[in-house]
Amino acid sequence: MEKRMMKADLAPKPCASLPLNQILGSAVVLNWDALAAGANSGLIRIEYHIGADGALESLKLWARAREYWSLICDYPVHLGWSDGPRFQNGYHSRRLGRLLQSIVMNQNMFTHECGANSNGALDIGTPTMEDTASATERVNEAFHVQP
């Protein structure tokens, strides 16, 4: 029986206990090429706000190139309606936009440890092939997609 070491924040979990930050991180990993703009290395930051009712209220993605941060997208979440993420600064990914909308519309499927009216953040570095495979598995499991 072979055991593989994986990053703790990217290890596959059953959907019932899949943390919000892991599914958001998986969305970034699966869309890395669109976000990193061909860079061999980089950093993407995910920032989100949990509202008074414990639901996701806003989401922002940032890219770091050298020492500067650039806003990728801003997603003000309104559960009754939403236009989805608003991409900025030359970034755009239809695939990422749809995945983020699916996550937001089904956010009750995911757990988080944030209290009411608090913020969460997650930094994602250049993914390995193993990270990409784990992210694919996690998204497929969460949304019941057959590989």
Task: Decide if pLDDT at 7 tops 60.
Answer: no
Q: What is the pTM of this model?
A: 0.82
User: What would the pLDDT profile of 40-95 be if each residue is shown by its tens digit?
Assistant: 668 999 999 999 998 899 999 999 877 889 999 999 987 666 678 999 999 999 99
- Running DSSP on this structure, what letter comes out for residue 117? T
User: What would the pLDDT profile of 87-108 be if each residue is shown by its tens digit?
Assistant: 999 999 999 999 999 999 898 8
Domain locations in the chain? 13-142
Please give the C-alpha separations between residue 18 and each of 15, 40, 45, 82, 108, in angstroms, as whole numbers.
5, 29, 19, 24, 11
Q: Report, in angstroms and rounded to the nearest whole number, the Rg of the chain calculated over CA atoms.
A: 15
